[in-house]
């Protein structure tokens, strides 16, 4: 079954389902994104569009609606602002300490230490920043891109995926760079969010009949953003690249499998899991030091 109609209320979904059934087109009504969608067998996509269009021509809606292939309604999500404030709070705490450089030594993503088994550094390094400018850029990016991901996926699932991309990106980067390489900052996770957004858009373009060109364009836009924002002289391009690459399959996985299977409790569980990973990693760093 392939999603075709989205953003319907209960009555619309019921009516369109009956229209399709009257045309001998099997369908399934699914609650998603605060509304309802209708899934139909892929071979009947065009016939389903035609049947509903004919119905709409004979029974024009009171308000113009775009029900074809737009995906769930995008909701506002302020969790990115919360994460930005968290980054600011940690940075201020580190900078006000007597030895800020010690935090980088204990919690930074030092390749040699990660290669020797101190995997917790892949997590803790995401919350450290070199200076105010470094912090400010990541705060804005986390609020924008992180919030955009969570508006689609939910805050719990979204931040767990973003955290995974950041950790995986730091780990992969540490495995291939020279042992003396050091990386800090949330930008690896931020570019993971960019990758997630790109694939969410690309998969929807394919599933909802917009064509492969728009799917490729979505990925290309993400790569252009990576080249523009993630490749400056002071940037760790490898970490940014691997964060972005890790985000690509996460977005596809979310769109194809996770999105409609995680309820409110699941979102809370994912959020708690993400917070637990951060806390345990920092505690591990404290114990190791």
Confidence grade of residue 284 (pLDDT, cut at 50, 70, 90): very high
Going 282 to 102 to 246 to 271, the CA torsion angle's sign is: positive
**Burial (Cβ within 10 Å: 0-12, 13-18, ≥19) of residue 64:** exposed
Contact criterion met (CB below 8 Å) for 103 and 61: no
Closest CA to 111 of 34, 185, 170: 170
Going 211 to 212 to 214 to 218, the CA torsion angle's sign is: positive
Confidence grade of residue 92 (pLDDT, cut at 50, 70, 90): very high
pLDDT at 163 over 60: yes
Residue range 125-153, pLDDT digits in tens:
999 998 898 899 999 999 999 998 998 88
Looking only at Cα atoms, what is the longest distance across the chain? 74
Q: Measured between alpha carbons, how far apart are the two ends of the chain, in Å?
A: 53
Query: Is the whole model's pTM more than 0.75, yes or no?
Result: no
Number of helical (H) and strand (E) elements in the chain, helices listed first: 13, 5
Q: Measured in whole angstroms, how far is the alpha carbon of residue 278 from the centre of its chain? A: 18
Residue range 56-81, pLDDT digits in tens:
777 765 443 443 444 444 456 789 99
Confidence grade of residue 161 (pLDDT, cut at 50, 70, 90): very high
Residue range 203-237, pLDDT digits in tens:
766 665 555 666 676 667 777 767 766 555 566 88
pLDDT at 179 over 60: yes
Which domains occur in the chain, in start order?
Answer: 2-58 (3.30.70.1530), 79-288 (1.20.1540.10)
What is the C-alpha to C-alpha distance for residues 223 and 210, in angstroms, rounded to an integer? 20
What DSSP designation does 207 have? H
- In the block, tokens 């506002």 appear at 76
Residue range 8-18, pLDDT digits in tens:
777 777 788 88
Considering only residues 48 and 2, tell me which one the structure prediction assigns the higher pLDDT.
48
Which residue pairs, CB below 8 angstroms and at least 24 apart, start in 228-237?
A: 229/141, 230/187, 230/191, 234/134, 235/187, 236/173, 236/183, 236/185, 236/187, 236/188
* Partners of 38 in beta bridges: 5, 29
Residue range 261-280, pLDDT digits in tens:
667 888 899 999 999 999 99
* Partners of 29 in beta bridges: 38
pLDDT at 87 over 60: yes
pLDDT score at 243: 92
């Amino acid at each position: 079954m392939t999603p075709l109609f989205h953003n319907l209320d209960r009555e619309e979904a019921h009516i369109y389902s009956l229209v399709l059934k009257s045309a001998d087109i099997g369908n399934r009504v699914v609650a998603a994104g605060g509304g309802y969608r209708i899934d139909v067998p892929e071979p009947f996509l065009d016939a389903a569009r035609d049947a509903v269009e004919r119905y709409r021509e004979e029974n024009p809606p009171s308000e113009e609606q775009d029900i074809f292939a737009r995906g769930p309604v995008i909701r506002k999500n302020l969790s990115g602002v919360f994460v930005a404030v968290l980054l600011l709070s940690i940075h201020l705490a580190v900078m006000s300490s007597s030895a800020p450089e010690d935090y980088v030594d204990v919690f930074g993503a030092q390749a040699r230490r990660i290669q020797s088994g101190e995997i917790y550094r892949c997590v803790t390094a995401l919350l450290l920043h070199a200076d105010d400018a470094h912090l400010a850029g990541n705060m804005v990016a986390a609020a924008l891109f992180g919030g955009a991901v969570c508006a689609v996926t939910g805050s719990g699932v979204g931040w767990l995926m973003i955290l995974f991309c950041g950790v995986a990106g730091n780990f992969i980067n540490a495995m291939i760079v020279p042992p003396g390489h050091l990386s800090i900052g949330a930008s690896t996770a931020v570019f993971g969010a960019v990758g997630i957004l790109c694939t969410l858009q690309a998969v929807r373009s394919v599933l909802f009949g917009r064509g492969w060109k728009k799917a490729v364009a979505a990925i290309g836009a993400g790569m252009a953003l990576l080249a523009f924002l993630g490749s400056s002289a002071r940037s760790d391009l490898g970490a940014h690249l691997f964060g972005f690459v890790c985000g690509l399959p996460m977005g596809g996985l979310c769109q194809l499998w996770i999105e409609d299977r995680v309820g409110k409790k699941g979102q809370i569980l994912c959020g708690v899991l993400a917070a637990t990973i951060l806390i345990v990693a920092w505690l591990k760093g404290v114990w190791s030091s």
